[in-house]
Structure 1
Amino acid sequence: MKFNSIKNKIVKYITVLFLCLFTSLSFAQNYQVKGTVLDDQGVPLEMASVKVIPVNNPDDVSGGVTDFDGNFSIDVDEGTYNIKVEFISFETKNIKNKEISSDLDLGKIRLKFAQEELDEVNVLYETTQVDVRLDKKIYNVGKDLTTEGGTVSEALANVPSVTVDVDGAISLRGNSNVRILINGKPSSVAGFGDQDVFQQLPADAIESVEVITSPSARYDAEGSGGIINIILKREKTLGINGSFRGTIGDPRNTGAYTNVNLRTDKFNIFNNLGYTDRKGPGNAFFDNRYTTGQNFDRIIEDREYDRSGKNFNMNTGIEYFFDESSSLTGSFFMRLGDDLDRTRNRTTRFVEDVENSTTLRTEEEDEDDKRFQYSLNYEKRFDPDNRDHKLTADFQYSKKDETKDNRIFEDIINPTPDFVARQNVFEAEDEDSFLFQADYVLPMGDAQFEAGFRGDYSDTSQDFLVQRKLTENANFTRNDSLSSNFNFQQNITAVYTQYGNKLGDSFSYLLGLRFEQTQLKGKTTPVNEDVFTQNFDFDKTFNGLFPTVNLIYEIGEEENISLGYNRRINRPRSWYLNPFPSQSSRTNIFQGNPDLDPAFANAFDLGYLKRWEKITLTSSVYYQRETESFERVQRDTGQDTEEDGIDIIENIPINLSTEERYGAELGILYNPTKWLRTNLSFNYFRFESEGAFEGQEYGATNESYFGRFSANVILPWEIQWQTNAFYRGPRENAQTKTDPIASLDLAFSKDILNDNATVSLNVRDVFNSRVRDQFTVTPNFSSDSEFQWRERQVTLTFVYRFNQPKEKRRGSGGGDYDDGGGF
């Protein structure tokens, strides 16, 4: 009986519950929430996530994703909801406490590009995309076919306003005084200013490149030409995903690169590994003619370079999320390099245009390069609805350990074979750097206040030991006039503040002031102090205020004018200050100048942007005036070689008094159809310098220009064909004229395996024409030379992606900055 009573009660409760549920279903009304998700330039965002979350039951989430045109439609019950719209690399849009009692059309929802998240996302667009900001342009490098399997230098060479010459030196708008940062900070990844490292790091590691021609106060005042900030990949998609990339090429270019990421609600683990084995043949030619009392009136040097290098790179770390508003990231970067460079230098000497003798100089240099970097980053966001209100604190320790062992053999091969000299050159460089940084950002409606501190302290020790023997049977002896230790310290302490606001609907401004104190200390210790009477030591401190002003006026939604002003500093690097000469040649040497001081510059930039349906135009004119500017000059040292009495020509950096630079640049993106995208850019600059050194005037007036054209064509069977053409006009300084350079790159790409893999073929420098030709004239000699850093390269690349779908190309409307990897 008792069991039947319990059974009856259960049946009764179930009946009542069923009736309540039936009643609610009968009277509940479904409503439709719809809208369109766009970026801040009006381009539809496909696959954006939309979540509709009940306020009283946050676990009962409804949602969906946008279609190709950015549209979404979600059915919900009557009630109060929070709506969240998300898309990777864009700021999240939150709509709070929305009462829904009828169909709701949210209209156009615009998402801003997330500037602060650039180092946290991996955007997989087909081609390069640009986002224009108040103080910078951000190029999401994406899949540039012509740099598949290439290096960071080759990727930078395709970024607008940036040029990379045949030596690998990087310039911005024709100005080589450019500051290069990694993830917004000076870094051992960038070699602390040593640009050679970019010819070793794989381009696949790059997420985006920021070109900052009018830097705000938040950035270092270093670099009168501006700043290039390289953002490395750090995936942040939920779950585990990644990619593998393999390359082969001729000349030898083999490599493998993996990118793996694991993301949960509490942590994000990222790991990038890369290995490359590259060979870089090159060549150079020097024809020197002497005009005053030398043993020879003409000397020809014909060089062949055979560079090879094996490099292993790792960038790994973990980000732990304490909660939705704070996180701590620890990361470790390592680069191990093992290089072998062989140089053959055939030197022919003439007397009255008759060959006198010919020598062959062979160099074999082993280089062991180790770079390590440990980083900690803490981030605290104070407002979950406004992710810009935050405090970040960074600590970074970097170490570089590089050794070079160069064995030099030189013999006469004509008219009678004979011994000339043997020389061993050993170089060791150790560098330690500490970085402390804190930044605070406070949004106030349309306004924003920022303040921060940075301390950047580095200590470099360079040991230089030269041994030689002048007869075949002699023992090696130390060259006391060249062997030394150079210790260099650079200590920079900076604070800054800046404020930005918007006046009305059209005018925005950003005002900033930065104070920097720079200390440069150098101490030279010869191995034999009795040989030297000159003191090369220095200890200099420079204090400076660096104001910045950035203004933008929006003429319309697709048109604006910008104006920027900033003051910059150019600090000499250690190799510009080290007083001991290089030994790559007995007769043409580079030697640092301990008396070199920093240069200061004031720069103005006026820009104009206009977008139409299929055309985007960007343009600017700029002016810069630099005092105590650097100039490298050549001079006859008045000394000759001990082996055969040939005069030594020295290349040395000096401070000229002033340099004025004018320029203009123009970029046109034209995407007439879905299968054709083109990009054209042109940059013109002119500079005037004046100054004297050792009684000789080195002032000069020079103008030059460079242009790029890119076309990306989709062929049948969805094969992509990309063409990049580059032309740089002639240049001239006080002593040297440089001839024009033209080059062409081609690439083809095809997706396979259900778009999970891509195979591509690219040819860099198709006509093998990337050669620098120069002619130098001084009172004592003239020099006609040509130099090719690397010969034509053909590379085949295979990429496989897992859980990392390749997103389709965004629409080709007026807001699409897709430039096909163009410039």
Structure 2
Amino acid sequence: MPYSLKHQLSLALFFVFLFGFAQQKPAQKDITITGNVLEKTSKQPLEYATVTFTNSKTQKITAGGITNSKGEFSIVIAPGLYTLQIEFISFKPVLIKQFFKENTALGTLALIEDVSQLKEVVIRAEKSTVEIKLDKKVYHVGKDMLVKGGTVSDVLENVPSVSVDVEGNVSLRGSDNVRIFIDGRPSNALNMAEALRQIPADAIDKVEVITNPSARYDAEGGAGILNIILKKGKTDGFNGTLIGSLGLPETYGLNANLNYKTQKINYFTSTGYSYRTSQGAGTTNSQYLNPDNGSILKYINENRDTKRNRKGINTKTGAEWTLNPTTFWTNSWSYRQNNGTNQDQVTYNNLDQNNHFVYTNYRLNDGKNTGNDWEFASNFIKNFSKSGHKLTTDASYSKEKDLDNATINGINNHFVDQSTYSTTNNTETQNQFLLQADYVLPIKEGSQFEAGYKGNFNTLNKKYAVLSTENTFNTTNPLSNTLEYNEKINALYTQYGFKTNKVSYLFGLRWEDTNIAVNLLDTQEFNTKKYQLFFPSAFVNYQITDQSNLSISYSKRLSRPRGRYLDPTANLSSNINIFRGNPDLDPSLTDKLDLGYLQRWNKLSWNTSVYFENTTDVFSFVRYESGQFVGSTPVVLITPINLGKEQKTGFEFTLNYSPFKKWKINSSLNLYNTTTTGNFSYTNSNNQLIIQSLNNQAFSWFTRSSSRLSLPYKIEWQASIMYFGPSKTAQGKSLEQYVVHTAFSKDLLKEKATIAFNVSDVFNSRKMKNRTNLANLNSYSEFQWRKRQWNLSFTYRINNKKTDRDKTNPKNNEEEGSGF
């Protein structure tokens, strides 16, 4: 080959190589695209909006994700030319075609409602009744037909992780050391079960379940926090809903949720009247033993029939003032008034040692109660120029007054001289003042600093007097007294959160100074509890994919005894089985560790948690002989004590599934094993010191499932079943129970109205059953607070379509931090 040809060929190969090398691009780093998706009209964040990046050259989707609870997204892509599409059901999509070559913050992206689609998305546009989030579960009351015409207690029965016993006492993951908040403020009602029955379900927007709170939240509540959020309208103009209901046993109510919104001010009210009747029943069959040889002395079968009615009004009225685009001031006034009667008839069938009938006596309890409470609350929010940088302050003052009177007649036809007559009078006044400030400072992308203060000051005075011909209690253990409760809690907290790649961290520390006095003035018994404690918390979340997360969290929690735990007022509806609180209880401390996994698909989302709790000075209820007698029958007291130590290991599973667009299923399962150690000593009726080991290991579980299905003729059907498995206790066993609810609804008047019918406790099976074994007593008991209930409700919407999105959250106020 001639030289020139070789030279030319070599030169050509060189240029080909050089050209190919020039075409090779150096390794490029991925970039991050962020943005915030809002609804244009209300400026509310759109959670679960879909964000997709389509490569303009290949026309293939190369990246995507969904927005979080604040409407934010952060997606990693390779540099290039893309078509960005943001979609949300019933809203017009947003399309952006752009060449992205570096990290880009797109800012706020507003979506406009697509009116043409509204009629087609009646079902798809609704949120699920239960939203599963990594740090909490949110139960939307408005979507649940089963609670129409009911109360907050009925609402909580359907909330994942929560159980409500037949007496209305609330538990979270099987523990009743749970803190109840209403609109982010703690409720310190002395009788929490009764307080929750006074708020109608129609006034509730949603319930947040926070099983492992961060340092931002109150340390109180060993099991966690339930935040009950009341309805507050936010839609422009005048709109709202009117809800009327009636039922059997005799129940009726009327509730109005209205608001009028202008450019600067939003006026809102949720006001209602209710009248409720509930019937209950109970049985306690007792076998009394000879302490010397264990032989049977006698039997007493105690049957109880109860009838209660409540009537009352409640309102929350206020206004939110937009001072400027970054400053908001909300003031509200709440008032509740309730009156009621309690009729309780107890029949005692007395039998001899051979179980042969001897005689019957009766106890009639006729009680009346009146109560009213009001609260003024003010919330101020200042948003600074940097996104997420804000200051929030809250202040509230509340006052509650309750009066309970009762007459109790003990009728003994066999031994007339043993007939008794008693009167009780309880007057209770409570004042609470709360002051709080929270500051949030974003430091850089993916990290922020928070700090705050909270002061909670609570005073309660309860005068309870009993005049009785019975000698159930002696002078060293009187029935009458004056309870004075003073509580001062000051708290400071700080926490810092940051994100590196797919891992998010949140570390916090809370300090609380507690000063509590529980005094019985008439008997000069003074109990003071002072302590300063630190409460650390740590949360780590790993985002496996856009649809799945793994998290681990730790927090230290505190349970202060409240309500019936402290109240020494004796419940005298029975004179041989008497409940009373213990004013000398100490707080219990809990270390909580939780490992959680969350997975979402198109039609399915589920969350699992494995948790461990270690509690010291745990509260436990015990039954023991008081040393007093009614005739020859020893009086048994039921009271709480600080037992010792409790360790709980559990597994929780929550699932949302929609097989097709007309069918939604929510299910949850909670399994836990509890190991308790401790001793209890008392003096029995023979003046013997009894030391009882309360060491116990028990496996417990409960499950619930709710199904909602669209039937022909646009009828909606919903049903739920809850089952509570048996569990061993230190003094016996609690037996299994189940309850079934069902409901139907249909839209009327071009979807301006809805009629709903529900049946609560279809099979009349909601009964608390227990077996108790003491040295001188074996007993079996059943108690049913409320028998089967039928309810019919009618909802009418004023300038408010059924398909309108939920717009009740305070504007620019992060849901997680509201009120805490």
Asked whether the two chains share a fold, i.e. TM above 0.5, the reply is: yes
Pick the aligned partner of 1:754 from 750, 756, 767.
750
- 1:699 corresponding residue in structure 2: 695
- 2:528 corresponding residue in structure 1: 539
Give yes or no for contact 1:124–1:807 (8 Å, CA) kept in 2.
no
Pick the aligned partner of 2:516 from 517, 520, 523.
520
2:423 paired with 1:424: yes
Pick the aligned partner of 2:635 from 613, 635, 648.
648
2:476 paired with 1:447: no
What letter corresponds to residue 219 of structure 1 in structure 2?
Answer: Y
Give yes or no for contact 2:245–2:254 (8 Å, CA) kept in 1.
yes
Displacement after TM superposition at 1:436 (Å): 0.9
Structure 1 runs not aligned, ≥5 long:
1-34, 51-64, 76-91, 96-105, 110-122, 472-476, 530-534, 811-823
In 2, the alpha carbon distance for the partners of 1:438 and 1:470 equals 53
Displacement after TM superposition at 1:469 (Å): 3.9
Give yes or no for contact 1:724–1:746 (8 Å, CA) kept in 2.
yes
- 2:33 corresponding residue in structure 1: none
Give yes or no for contact 2:410–2:419 (8 Å, CA) kept in 1.
yes
In 1, the alpha carbon distance for the partners of 2:422 and 2:124 equals 51
2:716 paired with 1:716: no
In 1, the alpha carbon distance for the partners of 2:107 and 2:798 equals 29
What letter corresponds to residue 426 of structure 1 in structure 2?
Answer: N
Task: Map Cα deviations across residues 78-111 of structure 1 (whole Å, 9 max, x no partner).
Answer: xxxxxxxxxxxxxx9626xxxxxxxxxx9x99xx
Displacement after TM superposition at 1:678 (Å): 1.8
Displacement after TM superposition at 1:132 (Å): 4.7
Give yes or no for contact 1:128–1:144 (8 Å, CA) kept in 2.
no
- 2:389 corresponding residue in structure 1: 389
- 2:284 corresponding residue in structure 1: 286
Query: Identity over aligned residues, as a percent?
Result: 37
Displacement after TM superposition at 1:314 (Å): 0.7
SS in structure 1 at match of 2:525: coil
Pick the aligned partner of 1:596 from 561, 585, 594.
585
- 1:12 corresponding residue in structure 2: none
SS in structure 2 at match of 1:537: strand
Displacement after TM superposition at 1:36 (Å): 12
In 2, the alpha carbon distance for the partners of 1:68 and 1:701 equals 50
- 2:606 corresponding residue in structure 1: 617
Superposed, 1:361-760 pairs within 5 Å as 361-383=363-385, 386=387, 388-413=388-413, 415=414, 420-444=419-443, 445-469=445-469, 481-504=478-501, 506-526=502-522, 536-573=525-562, 575-641=564-630, 644-694=631-681, 695-760=691-756
SS in structure 1 at match of 2:186: coil
Displacement after TM superposition at 1:491 (Å): 1.4
2:306 paired with 1:330: no
In 2, the alpha carbon distance for the partners of 1:442 and 1:328 equals 20
- 1:360 corresponding residue in structure 2: 362
What letter corresponds to residue 467 of structure 2 in structure 1?
Answer: Q
The farther-off stretch of 131-140 and 328-337 is 131-140
Displacement after TM superposition at 1:578 (Å): 4.0
Structure 2 runs not aligned, ≥5 long:
1-36, 40-44, 52-65, 72-85, 97-105, 113-122, 682-690, 807-820
Task: Map Cα deviations across residues 688-715 of structure 1 (whole Å, 9 max, x no partner).
Answer: 0000122321111111111112221111
- 1:348 corresponding residue in structure 2: 349
In 2, the alpha carbon distance for the partners of 1:469 and 1:483 equals 14
After superposition, the Cα gap between the structure-2 partners of 1:124 and 1:596, relative to the gap in structure 1 and judged at 3 Å, is: farther
Give yes or no for contact 2:192–2:563 (8 Å, CA) kept in 1.
no
What letter corresponds to residue 216 of structure 2 in structure 1?
Answer: R
Displacement after TM superposition at 1:733 (Å): 1.4
After superposition, the Cα gap between the structure-2 partners of 1:67 and 1:639, relative to the gap in structure 1 and judged at 3 Å, is: closer
What letter corresponds to residue 660 of structure 1 in structure 2?
Answer: Q
In 2, the alpha carbon distance for the partners of 1:574 and 1:512 equals 30
Task: Map Cα deviations across residues 441-472 of structure 1 (whole Å, 9 max, x no partner).
Answer: 1123211111111111111111111113479x
In 1, the alpha carbon distance for the partners of 2:361 and 2:649 equals 46
In 1, the alpha carbon distance for the partners of 2:152 and 2:124 equals 18
Displacement after TM superposition at 1:261 (Å): 0.3
SS in structure 2 at match of 1:297: strand
Give yes or no for contact 2:137–2:160 (8 Å, CA) kept in 1.
no
In 1, the alpha carbon distance for the partners of 2:665 and 2:475 equals 59
- 2:802 corresponding residue in structure 1: 806
What letter corresponds to residue 71 of structure 1 in structure 2?
Answer: K
Displacement after TM superposition at 1:592 (Å): 2.4
Pick the aligned partner of 2:108 from 94, 100, 110.
94
Give yes or no for contact 1:468–1:479 (8 Å, CA) kept in 2.
no
After superposition, the Cα gap between the structure-2 partners of 1:124 and 1:230, relative to the gap in structure 1 and judged at 3 Å, is: farther
After superposition, the Cα gap between the structure-2 partners of 1:68 and 1:570, relative to the gap in structure 1 and judged at 3 Å, is: closer
- 2:195 corresponding residue in structure 1: 197
- 1:55 corresponding residue in structure 2: none
State the TM-score, normalized to the length of structure 2: 0.81
In 2, the alpha carbon distance for the partners of 1:495 and 1:298 equals 57
Aligned residue-pair number: 700
Give yes or no for contact 1:775–1:783 (8 Å, CA) kept in 2.
yes
In 2, the alpha carbon distance for the partners of 1:760 and 1:621 equals 38
- 1:320 corresponding residue in structure 2: 321
What letter corresponds to residue 554 of structure 1 in structure 2?
Answer: Q
Displacement after TM superposition at 1:543 (Å): 1.2
In 1, the alpha carbon distance for the partners of 2:363 and 2:543 equals 62
Displacement after TM superposition at 1:619 (Å): 0.6
Task: Map Cα deviations across residues 64-84 of structure 1 (whole Å, 9 max, x no partner).
Answer: x98846434799xxxxxxxxx
In 1, the alpha carbon distance for the partners of 2:676 and 2:475 equals 42
Superposed, 1:223-238 pairs within 5 Å as 223-238=221-236
SS in structure 2 at match of 1:154: helix
After superposition, the Cα gap between the structure-2 partners of 1:358 and 1:36, relative to the gap in structure 1 and judged at 3 Å, is: closer
RMSD over aligned CA atoms reads 3.0
- 1:41 corresponding residue in structure 2: 48
After superposition, the Cα gap between the structure-2 partners of 1:276 and 1:733, relative to the gap in structure 1 and judged at 3 Å, is: same
Displacement after TM superposition at 1:357 (Å): 2.4
Give yes or no for contact 2:290–2:297 (8 Å, CA) kept in 1.
no
Superposed, 1:120-269 pairs within 5 Å as 126=126, 128-133=128-133, 135-187=135-187, 191=189, 194-269=192-267
After superposition, the Cα gap between the structure-2 partners of 1:426 and 1:412, relative to the gap in structure 1 and judged at 3 Å, is: same
Give yes or no for contact 1:124–1:142 (8 Å, CA) kept in 2.
no
SS in structure 1 at match of 2:495: strand
